[in-house]
Amino acid sequence: MAPDELNVLKDGMRMLVIEPAGLLGTVQRLKSEFQFDLFLDVTAVDWLGKSPRFELVYHFYSTAHRVRVRLKTRVPEDDPTVDSLVSFYGSARFMERECHDMYGIVFRGNDDLRAILLYEGFVGHPLRKDYPKDQEQPIVPYRDLAAEADVGSKAA
């Protein structure tokens, strides 16, 4: 199969809209059959008030065919979970972390969803539409180095 068989939009972008359950299977096919070897980007769009609320948008590029494809899937607010693509693309690790930071999407299978652009202790997910732009965050207290050293020496 050639990538031309995918749905081509007016601007030359190919697009697929799928169910979250079919994500891994679709990406597997995109990568092996259509040679979409470069994982460009993942982000979410928060359609607040609609159901399912979050739309996940993936972009892939094929260095052989020189075309891009956009993959979209929607996840609900009460369980914003989707399978991670780390088993296919190394670059997914970082980009999924960012999406987790900003929208609170959980990528099942990505074992490293630490805060990346934000910090530990940040409350909420800033790119959600119900997060006010002028929201203030609690100040992170200084580390208690003496207490930590104390714990460390006891453990040793």
Partner 1 sequence: MEAKLRNPVRSIFEQTRREGTVVVNIGPSHPATHGTIQIIAELEGEKVVRADAHCGYLHRGFEKECEAHTWHNLIPYVDRLNYCSGLINNFAYCEAVEKLMGIELTPRCRYLRTLLSEYSRIADHLTCVAASLMEIGAMTGFLYLVMIRDFIYEHLADLTGARVTYTYGRIGGLARDLPAGWLARLDEILDQYEIFVGRIHSLMDRNRIFIDRTRDVGVISTADAIDWGFTGPILRSTGAPRDLRKDTPYLAYAELDFEVPVGIKGDNYDRYYVRMREMDESVHMIRQLMDLLPDGPINVDDHRCTLPEKRLVYSEIESLINHFKLIMEGPQVPAGEMYSAHEAANGELGFYIVSTGEGVPYKVHVRSPSFVHLGGAHRLMEGFQLADIVPTFGSVNIIGGECDR
Say whether residue 130 binds partner 1 (CB under 8 A): no
29, 37 contact by CB (below 8 A): no
> Which one of residues 115, 123, 124, 149 is an interface residue with partner 1 (CB under 8 A)?
115
Say whether residue 89 binds partner 1 (CB under 8 A): yes
Say whether residue 98 binds partner 1 (CB under 8 A): yes
106, 100 contact by CB (below 8 A): yes
> Which one of residues 1, 5, 63, 154 is an interface residue with partner 1 (CB under 8 A)?
63
Total interface residues for partner 1 by CB under 8 A: 44
- Measuring CA to CA, which residue among 121, 96, 125 is closest to residue 111? 96
Q: CB of residue 46 vs partner 1: minimum separation in angstroms?
A: 8
101, 123 contact by CB (below 8 A): no
Say whether residue 114 binds partner 1 (CB under 8 A): yes
Longest dimension (CA), the chain: 66
**What distance in Å separates the CA atoms of residue 41 and residue 43, rounded to the nearest whole number?**
7
Q: Which is nearer to partner 1, 21 or 151 (CB)?
A: 151
- Measuring CA to CA, which residue among 101, 47, 36 is closest to residue 70? 36
Interface ranges with partner 1 (CB under 8 A): 11, 13, 37-41, 43, 45-46, 57, 59, 61, 63, 66, 68, 70, 89-91, 93-95, 98, 102, 112, 114-121, 126-127, 131, 133, 140-144, 148
